[in-house]
Amino acid sequence: MWCFDGSSTEQAPGGSSDCLLKPVYICQDPQRKNGYLVMCEVLSPNGTPHPTNGRATIDDDDNDFWFGFEQEYFLWNPATNKPLGFPENGYPAPQGPYYCSVGAKNAFGREIVEEHLDVCLEAGLNVEGINAEVAAGQWEFQIFAKGAKEAGDQIWVARYLLERIGEKYGVSINWHCKPLGSLDWNGSGMHANFSNSALRTAGKKEVYDSICSAFAPVVKEHIEVYGADNHLRLTGKHETQSIDTFSYGVSDRGASIRIPIATVERGWKGWLEDRRPNSAADPYKVASRIIKTVKTVSSN
């Protein structure tokens, strides 16, 4: 346990500035000699979780909940204030050829993305994959963990490593969910794939209907922690449901929650995907809210 100046991070006033750091996750830092990265929870001076500490709100001590986050982002050119692949004046060809693309006309910044993948794997992070996304200069990586807290830990460490690699190339990482505004380009999400024992062993559609239906009355509570400015992204277009509407469906990427076809084919044993969290959301808070909602069903 150690402390830092919370006034420098806007987490405490200058007259009472100490905040505590509690190490919770450690991994190798492949870019340093004999170096390590240590993820910490922030505590108030009396040892209680700081108000900004989303990790402490996760009710998953037995790691029954598994999470797979799909982290989207834009590689951003600070000189033009546009994504990589966007000309200084005007726009590239409409989206279509960029998703999972290859070739210099369609894929922009691959050297950054590949280096990030290598570094994450060397650090021991459980990166499941990477891909170019729908818009030019937009990419994604996926991380999975058996345990909500570790899934959040690994997302935050991976974000940090990506930012640090971007520095070397003079490229910033834009985590905003809709950095291109109302233009006809997809926004960025952090889709949350999740399961617990009930979902993994259900064996019947009724269990999935009950759990999905539990999300309907708490749309507001979920949106509050699903990332800033999500109203710009959740419009009902570009593979999203409207922000004030809740729906779920098999293979429906326009729904709030998608039931993967693999779950159905396995006899209703699998997972769900909440498509509403955006790219800048705190994975701890997203997981915490999902767990809370799912447990309302499990406890009945």
pLDDT tens for the chain, 300 residues: list them. 999 999 999 999 998 899 999 999 999 999 999 999 999 999 999 999 999 999 999 999 999 999 999 999 999 999 999 999 999 988 999 999 999 999 999 999 999 999 999 999 999 999 999 999 999 999 999 999 999 999 999 999 999 999 999 999 999 999 999 999 877 889 999 999 999 999 999 999 999 999 999 999 999 999 999 999 999 999 988 788 999 999 999 999 999 999 999 999 999 999 999 999 999 999 999 999 999 999 999 554
One domain, residues 32 and 145: no
Q: What is the CATH number of the domain that holds 234?
A: 3.30.590.10
pLDDT at 136: 96
Whether residue 90 is contained in a domain is answered as yes
Number of C-alpha atoms within 13 angstroms, CB side, residue 50? 21
One domain, residues 188 and 114: yes
One domain, residues 122 and 18: no
Whether residue 116 is contained in a domain is answered as yes
One domain, residues 78 and 199: yes
Whether residue 60 is contained in a domain is answered as no
DSSP string over 210-263: HHHHTTGGGHHHHHTTS-TTGGGT-BS-SS--BTT---EEET-TTSSEEE-HHH
Q: Report d(CA 13, CA 233) in Å as an integer.
A: 34
| pTM value surpassing 0.85 | yes
Look up the domain containing 285 and give its range.
Answer: 66-298
Q: Report d(CA 151, CA 136) in Å as an integer.
A: 28
φ, ψ for residue 51, nearest 5 deg: -55, -25
Q: What is the CATH number of the domain that holds 44?
A: 3.10.20.70
One domain, residues 19 and 76: no
Domain closes at, from 26, 53, 80? 53
Q: Report d(CA 269, CA 199) in Å as an integer.
A: 6
Q: Report d(CA 287, CA 225) in Å as an integer.
A: 10
One domain, residues 154 and 265: yes
The alpha carbon of residue 146 and the mean position of all alpha carbons in its chain are separated, in whole angstroms, by 16
Cβ contact 115:123 at 8 Å: no
Q: How many domains does the chain have?
A: 2
Whether residue 99 is contained in a domain is answered as yes
One domain, residues 236 and 136: yes
pLDDT at 183: 79
One domain, residues 76 and 41: no
Number of C-alpha atoms within 13 angstroms, CB side, residue 116? 32
What is the three-class DSSP state of 150?
A: helix
Whether residue 61 is contained in a domain is answered as no
Whether residue 39 is contained in a domain is answered as yes
List all residues 6 or more positions away from 149 whose beta carbon is below 8 Å from its beta carbon.
24, 55, 58, 60, 284, 287
pLDDT at 42: 97
One domain, residues 228 and 277: yes
One domain, residues 48 and 77: no
One domain, residues 75 and 191: yes
Q: Report d(CA 229, CA 224) in Å as an integer.
A: 10
One domain, residues 100 and 21: no
Whether residue 240 is contained in a domain is answered as yes
Whether residue 58 is contained in a domain is answered as no
